[in-house]
Amino acid sequence: NLPSLKEKYKEDFKVGVAIGYGELISDIDTQFIKKHFNSITPGNEMKPESVLKGPNNYDFTIADAFVDFATKNKMGIRGHTLVWHNQTPDWFFKDENGNFLKKDELLKRLKNHIYTVVSRYKGKIYAWDVVNEAIDETQPDGYRRSNWYNICGPEYIEKAFIWAHEADPQAKLFYNDYNTEIPQKRMFIYNMIKNLKAKGVPIHGIGLQCHINIDNPSVEDIEETIKLFSTIPGLEIQITELDMSFYQWGSSVYYAEPSREMLLKQAKKYYELFNLFKKYKNVIKSVTFWGLKDDNSWLRGVFNKPDFPLLFDEHYDGKPAFWALIDYSILP
């Protein structure tokens, strides 16, 4: 019988959660989701590789189920994602002989994809992650050398926003990325968005993924990023994929169980983060966790060790991090 997280922040921003189909068809999970969250993001099910069965061949059965669930329960739903170097079928970039498409051919395919997906859910999705992770700060010009870039140059980015806006003029269109606290990356993203806006490209917001860990980046570093992006007139910020690993990147540490000390450290940082988000609530309109409970976090799958990045444990119990976001004064 936990207090409701979304109630707690109802004057501040939407509180969202990324879920998979497994959760969507589980009664226990959906009850829990409805209680604590007022926004959902399909973690994988709207990505190109999930909806595309072959060239011009779509299967929206599962994606539709997410949109129906959100609509029926009056929750917001974020669309994730249209243009990414990952989880896009290899054939998308190639012709029937396996050769890479030419720029105009790939852009035509992209336009068709965006029109098909975005117009299907017109008026139902409040924010689309139109372009995901296109910046790589180790490149001299900051653009990730993906199939998209290698074939089209940076032009695919603005085209994607223009077409998404044509397909659903009401949806807010986001550029979404991780590690946005790295100073060079932050500047590349800032300049890209400023330039796109100056050209009149319909880009409405930036999604800060916020896959962070207990040590890095600091709350101060995250504030630097929010402060900088909030200087772009009219630009909205959403926290799109929040989680807080127990491990620093690449660390060989292994925690079989979460210690009390680590749980409290995590709680403190979540508390400080939410204070920061509230401070910027004029620009931050939604905060989404990347997963419901620790046991189904993507981090466990990818790094193949126990991790405890979210607010709830496998028994649906609120961890200290949950309580910190409800009432920090009750923690020791």
| Contacts with ligand G3I, residue ranges (CB under 6 A) | 43-44, 86-87, 132, 178, 209, 241, 298
DSSP E strand boundaries for 133-277: 172-177, 205-208, 211-213, 236-245
Report, in Å, the least distance between residue 296 CB and ligand G3I: 9
Mapped onto helix, strand or coil, the DSSP state of residue 14 is: strand
Report, in Å, the least distance between residue 220 CB and ligand G3I: 23
Spatial separation of the C-alpha atoms in residues 145 and 136, rounded to whole Å: 8
Instruction: State the residue number with the nearest CB to ligand G3I.
Output: 298
Residue appearing with tokens 């140059």: 153
Residue placing its CB nearer to ligand G3I in the complex, 238 or 271: 238
Report, in Å, the least distance between residue 129 CB and ligand G3I: 8
Residue placing its CB nearer to ligand G3I in the complex, 73 or 87: 87
Candidate list 133, 155, 241, 314, residue with the active-site label: 241
Report, in Å, the least distance between residue 20 CB and ligand G3I: 6
Residue placing its CB nearer to ligand G3I in the complex, 30 or 44: 44
How many CB atoms are located within 10 Å of the residue 253 CB? 8
Residue placing its CB nearer to ligand G3I in the complex, 146 or 324: 146
Contact 42, 18 (CB under 8 A): yes
Spatial separation of the C-alpha atoms in residues 53 and 41, rounded to whole Å: 21
Is 241 catalytic? The answer is yes
Spatial separation of the C-alpha atoms in residues 175 and 134, rounded to whole Å: 9
191-196 long-range Cβ contacts below 8 angstroms, 24+ apart? 191/142, 192/135, 192/142, 192/157, 193/229, 193/232, 193/235, 194/232, 196/157, 196/158, 196/161
CA 203 to chain CA mean position, Å: 16
Residue placing its CB nearer to ligand G3I in the complex, 229 or 298: 298
Report the amino acid identity of residue 251: S
Please give the torsion angle defined by the CA atoms of residues 271, 273, 275 and 276, in that order, rounded to the nearest 10 degrees. 170
Residue placing its CB nearer to ligand G3I in the complex, 158 or 241: 241
Active site (catalytic) residues: 241
